[in-house]
Amino acid sequence: MLKTTENQVPFAVTDPERIPTARYHDAEFYQAECDRLWPHVWQMACRLEQIPNVGDFIEYTNLGKSVIVVRAKDGVKAYHNACRHRGVPLAGEGAHGNCKREGFICPFHGWRWNIEGENTFVYGRHMFSEQQLDQADLALRVCRVETAAGCAFINHDDDAPGVRATIGPLLGNLEAHGSDDLRAEWWYATVLPANWKVAMEAFMEGYHVMRTHPQLQKTSPMLYNSMYGMDTGGIGALINPNMTIAENIASQIEHMRLLSDGMAGMLHAKELAIAETLGDVPLPEDPQQAVMMWFGIVGAEITRQLQAKGEPVPDLNAVAQSHPVKAVEFVFPHYFLLPFFSSMSSYRIRPLGPESCLFELWSLTMYPKGEEPPVPMEPTFLPYDSQEFPPIPRQDYANIPIQQKGVHASGFDFMRLSKTIEGMISNYNRIIDGHLGGVDKDKLARATHLLGGNFDGKILDLGF
């Protein structure tokens, strides 16, 4: 039976350290999300390099609501994807191309609209009443769209706060790191047999590295043990005191190599190649100072060498101080960016049902102007257990489906969270409850701001 609180939030989070497991499989809770969450949030609809020219468009769909995102003459626009005659979608699922010349043509009866959403052709106009062909009434219905961090975000709620007012300073921090200039070099997708939140929560903490990604733990045990295995306040140690400075630097390079092999965009091969040339630079005698200085040298060299090639890389050391970001940044409700130096990985998760989701993975990097390769317009679909995925997500995908099975176990009524390093899981779940319970939109936006930089973070007071 559906359990509700007074404000009719099914399976609400009443203890911030305990998340009811029914939220990850119950059909009525899933329907509440479909009805009260997704129509009111900013969804990452496409990357802007997919629609660089006037007339370029791409279709985005989630939970049966389809939107066309198009580069119009005066910027990016979005339209609800339905012919104003009898509702047939003007663009098929995943469709893309350029419609500057022909516009959007209904495949059913041939009615046509231009990129500004204006109707330009009705076959057999004489057969319709004049009131049915009013130009304003025939125009494609506009969907809200705003751009940020190299993406177009759509929202079905005309009264929701804007995307920047909702997500907060995180977007500016990502843009300072060059997110507007990133371009996809590859794009994968898979269907995971798991609730969309189970899939997302795997990337909200690094506590799982020791067991899920043992190759990272083995290379930098002090780093991960100091954050998760010892009572040190969660501050990662850069050095192993039992190793020389040279050995510590070699360990850092090996850790970078595993991240590059494992995630591609998060630490790009071109950045690794630069770091590998800096293994024997002069450094202070103090090991901690030496490793910190070495990271500064690597950041400076990546900046210098990639800028010299014409890449629009910011001063990485400067923006690390002025606009700090975490290794994983979450853009509520379903988008992640994973920065390290100048490149990033990104994830987007869309629900397909109470226990199924679409998981997309990009490798993002920069290129000199005029040397950009073709933009991937469709993902390469793979089975979730495919060996073609990079090693790190492959390891995560091994856990997520079996965790979904575990949430059905008798007696497993809630997930119990660390109050210090699994706080993001609690925080975003309680923001979902705020949407389901009708919390004031401005309060929800202020709470959503707190998710920026909350990776490996604490459970927070959200203000409602």
Would you say domain 1-41+166-237+311-464 falls under CATH 3.90.380?
yes
Give the phi and the psi of residue 353 in degrees, each rounded to 5.
Answer: 165, 175
Domain with CATH 2.102.10.10 in the chain: 44-151
The per-residue DSSP string of 337-371 comes to EEESSS-EEEEEEEEEETTEEEEEEEEEE---TT-
Half-sphere exposure of 104 (CA within 13 A, CB side): 33
Residue 460, Cβ neighbours under 10 Å: how many? 16
The three-state secondary structure class of 172 is: helix
Q: Count H helices, E strands: the chain? A: 15, 18
Residue 448, Cβ neighbours under 10 Å: how many? 26
**What pLDDT tens digit does each residue of the chain (464 aa) get?**
334 444 589 999 999 999 999 999 999 999 999 999 999 999 999 999 999 999 999 999 999 999 999 999 999 999 999 999 999 999 999 999 999 999 999 999 999 999 999 999 999 999 999 999 999 999 999 999 999 999 999 999 999 999 999 999 999 999 999 999 999 999 999 999 999 999 999 999 999 999 999 999 999 888 888 888 875 554 557 788 888 999 999 999 999 999 999 888 899 999 999 999 999 999 999 988 999 999 999 999 999 999 999 999 999 999 999 999 999 999 999 999 999 999 999 999 999 999 999 999 999 999 999 999 999 999 999 999 999 999 999 999 999 999 999 999 999 999 999 999 999 999 999 999 999 999 999 999 999 999 999 999 999 999 99
Would you say domain 44-151 falls under CATH 3.30.43.10?
no
| Residue 430: both structure tokens together | 């309680």
Tokens 């990016």 belong to residue: 76
Domain with CATH 3.90.380 in the chain: 1-41+166-237+311-464
Please give the Cα distance from 316 to 304 (Å, whole number): 10
Tokens 């500064």 belong to residue: 296
CA nearest neighbour of 175 among 305, 11, 355, 329:
329
| Residue 303: both structure tokens together | 């900046």
Give the phi and the psi of residue 369 in degrees, each rounded to 5.
Answer: -60, 130
pTM assigned to the model: 0.95
Tokens 């490996």 belong to residue: 456
CA distances to 23, 122, 168, 303, 317 from 425, rounded to whole Å, are 13, 51, 19, 34, 30
Name the helix (H) or strand (E) containing 47.
strand 43-47
